[in-house]
């Protein structure tokens, strides 16, 4: 989607990645199919492009480090490193005054017992690396759950988070330009199924003050990371109206896909604009409301023809090879008014 937004602005996106038929590869002007660790391929890639960005925060930090000495990388290593590691992420969020759920680092079963004693149960045990879409986490409801969860989740260390009794999940997306300018989209309300984003709604069905606070918090994250590009912040809304941050994504985010069809300038175009050093675009919404629905796994594949046949759905299909369970295959934006 970023490659398509770049092409629309007249750029020729060159995609680097390990999969020859990945969605980005299918729409790129140039491709390098290579492992992230392939130093020669990275060298040639750096020489062929003007600026580098990434859409996936599990690109190894060493890959970005290898590129950073040769070509401008936006965002840079700082944002990537913070967002690859839940412990670094929590420390960063606290350092910029963005509240998070109570947490403890867990290096051993002894740490886990102490953390449970501190935070109480239920609590959520998570990997600090490579966790997304609810993977790499376990809800602990009783002390007896602890040992098996510690053994199952890898790599270590882990992090234990207090269970957040949220009323809603929200996120907001901010773009920050190379000159420090900022554009922040409206917050969306996100509903998950099985730990995976299912639906995003805009406007969010939450008090206006909470939606505005969500925008302020993501802007603080973008500033604190000195990020050039787009960043999303996932948050929990508590019964008292306050927000806790859950996770940062230093890239366009699934919960911002509504912007493709409901805004003149999507999160992907903002990302390209920021990375290319162009002025940021508008963030205003031109539909009264929008509902973004993910198409996930075999059920998403089965639902696709029905959405394509509807007059009120703007349909996006990613061209992934297999409709595996839990895999995001596409999404639709349902525009109202």
Does the N-terminal peptide bond of residue 122 adopt cis geometry, omega within 30 degrees of 0?
yes
Among 99, 102, 195, 281, binds ligand AMP (CB under 6 A): 195
C-beta of 103 vs 307, nearer to ligand AMP: 103
Are 241 and 41 spatial neighbours (Cβ–Cβ below 8 Å)?
Answer: no
Q: How far is the CB of 331 from ligand AMP (least distance, A)?
A: 17
Regarding 57 and contact with ligand AMP (CB under 6 A), the answer is no
Q: How far is the CB of 131 from ligand AMP (least distance, A)?
A: 6
Q: In which element (H, E) is residue 192 found?
A: strand 188-193
Q: How far is the CB of 123 from ligand AMP (least distance, A)?
A: 7
For 191, the 3-state DSSP assignment is strand
Q: What are phi and psi of 27, to 5 degrees?
A: -120, 10
Handedness of CA 39, 43, 48, 54 (dihedral sign): positive
Regarding 105 and contact with ligand AMP (CB under 6 A), the answer is no
Q: How far is the CB of 139 from ligand AMP (least distance, A)?
A: 8
How far apart, in Å, are the Cα atoms of 203 and each of 178, 215, 257, 259? 29, 13, 14, 12
C-beta of 122 vs 241, nearer to ligand AMP: 122
Among 57, 161, 189, 261, binds ligand AMP (CB under 6 A): 161
Are 202 and 289 spatial neighbours (Cβ–Cβ below 8 Å)?
Answer: yes
Are 198 and 134 spatial neighbours (Cβ–Cβ below 8 Å)?
Answer: no
Residue keyed to tokens 């994250």: 221
Among 81, 127, 200, 246, binds ligand AMP (CB under 6 A): 246
Among 5, 15, 73, 101, binds ligand AMP (CB under 6 A): 101
According to DSSP, residue 325 is labeled: T
Structure tokens at 147: 């040992």
Cβ neighbours of residue 16 closer than 8 Å, sequence gap 6 or more = 31, 32, 34, 41, 42, 45
Stretch that binds ligand AMP, among 26-34, 40-48, 156-164, 306-314 (CB under 6 A): 156-164
Q: CA-to-CA distance for 236 and 64, rounded, in angstroms?
A: 31
Total residues interacting with ligand AMP, rule: CB under 6 A: 15
C-beta of 61 vs 164, nearer to ligand AMP: 164
Are 264 and 283 spatial neighbours (Cβ–Cβ below 8 Å)?
Answer: no
C-beta of 188 vs 246, nearer to ligand AMP: 246
Q: CA-to-CA distance for 125 and 106, rounded, in angstroms?
A: 9
Regarding 169 and contact with ligand AMP (CB under 6 A), the answer is yes
The distance from CA 259 to its chain's CA centroid, rounded to whole angstroms, is: 14
Site string for ligand AMP, 204-243 (x = CB under 6 A): ------------------------------x---------
Q: How far is the CB of 246 from ligand AMP (least distance, A)?
A: 5
C-beta of 17 vs 131, nearer to ligand AMP: 131
Among 38, 68, 77, 163, binds ligand AMP (CB under 6 A): 163
Stretch that binds ligand AMP, among 14-22, 64-72, 157-165, 276-284 (CB under 6 A): 157-165
Q: CA-to-CA distance for 241 and 32, rounded, in angstroms?
A: 47
Are 241 and 214 spatial neighbours (Cβ–Cβ below 8 Å)?
Answer: no
Q: Roughly how many angstroms between the first and final C-alpha of the chain, as a whole number? A: 25
Site string for ligand AMP, 108-147 (x = CB under 6 A): ----------------x------xx-x--x----------
Stretch that binds ligand AMP, among 23-31, 54-62, 89-97, 160-168 (CB under 6 A): 160-168
**Which positions lie near ligand AMP, rule CB under 6 A?**
101, 124, 131-132, 134, 137, 161, 163-164, 169, 192, 195, 234, 246-247
């Amino acid at each position: 989607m970023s490659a398509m937004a770049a092409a629309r602005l007249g750029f020729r996106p060159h995609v680097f990645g390990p999969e020859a038929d990945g969605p980005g590869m299918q729409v790129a002007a140039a491709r390098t199919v290579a492992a992230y660790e392939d130093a020669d391929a990275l060298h040639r890639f750096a020489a062929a492009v003007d600026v580098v960005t990434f859409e996936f925060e599990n690109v190894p930090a060493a890959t970005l480090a290898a590129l950073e000495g040769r070509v401008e990388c936006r965002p840079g290593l700082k944002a990537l490193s913070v967002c690859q590691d839940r412990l670094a992420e929590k420390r960063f969020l606290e350092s910029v005054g963005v509240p998070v759920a109570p947490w403890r680092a867990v290096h051993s079963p002894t740490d886990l017992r102490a953390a449970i004693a501190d935070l109480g149960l239920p609590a959520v045990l998570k990997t600090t690396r490579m966790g997304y879409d609810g993977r790499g986490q376990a809800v602990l409801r009783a002390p007896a759950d602890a040992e098996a969860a510690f053994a199952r989740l890898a790599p270590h260390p882990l992090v234990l988070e207090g269970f957040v009794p949220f009323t809603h999940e929200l996120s907001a997306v901010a773009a920050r330009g190379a000159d420090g300018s900022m554009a922040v989209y409206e917050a969306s309300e996100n509903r998950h199924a099985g730990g995976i984003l299912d639906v995003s709604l805009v406007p969010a069905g939450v008090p206006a003050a909470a939606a505005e606070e969500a925008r302020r918090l993501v802007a603080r994250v973008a500033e604190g990371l000195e990020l050039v590009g787009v960043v999303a912040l996932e948050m929990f809304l508590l019964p008292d109206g306050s927000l806790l941050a859950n996770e940062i994504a230093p890239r366009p985010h699934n919960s911002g896909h509504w912007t493709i069809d409901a805004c003149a300038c999507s999160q992907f175009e903002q990302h390209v604009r920021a990375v290319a050093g162009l002025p940021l675009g508008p963030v205003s919404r031109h539909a009264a409301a929008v509902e973004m629905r993910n198409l996930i796994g075999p059920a998403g594949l089965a639902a696709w023809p029905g959405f394509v046949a509807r007059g009120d759905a703007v349909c996006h299909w990613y061209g992934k090879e297999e409709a595996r369970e839990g895999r995001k295959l596409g999404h639709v934006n349902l525009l109202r008014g």
